[in-house]
Amino acid sequence: MNLLAVLLLAPWFAVLGWIYWRTAPARFAAARGFDIAALAAAIALSVAGMVLGLQVEPAGHHPIIREIVASLIAYKGFLLVLVAAWFWRRRAAHAAAPFSVVKER
């Protein structure tokens, strides 16, 4: 029951992971190892956030607040890793193929 929120968020995580995977630039497609590591780190941080969020003791609130806080932390952790990896991948792709300069004769 404790990781129920991760199971409920899993389809959305799968959609976000698929979008991240499919938006790789063509010239950077050889670096799939980085993408796999980024997705694995996003999942790991999400589960760690869920476990951390379940440790919250709601003082004067309904017990369901633990699940809500845990879900929010898990979701934000997943997004944080994917957005950081997306920006890094973009920066690395642009550094690998800088703009070509046309020389005038």
Amino acid 90: pLDDT? 81
Sequence ranges of the domains in the chain: 4-94
Residue 8 pLDDT greater than 90, yes or no: no
Contacts of 3 (CB under 8 A, 6+ apart): 47, 50
> Once rounded to an integer, what is the mean pLDDT over residues 68-74?
88
15-53 pLDDT, tens digit per residue, is 999 999 888 776 656 678 888 899 999 999 999 998 888
Amino acid 66: pLDDT? 84
pTM of the model: 0.78
72-100 pLDDT, tens digit per residue, is 999 999 999 999 998 988 887 767 665 54
Please report, as a single letter, which amino acid is at residue 57: E
Q: Using H for helix, E for strand and C for coil, what is the string for 31-74?
A: CHHHHHHHHHHHHHHHHHHHHHHCCCCCCCCCCHHHHHHHHHHH
> Once rounded to an integer, what is the mean pLDDT over residues 63-76?
86
Amino acid 98: pLDDT? 57
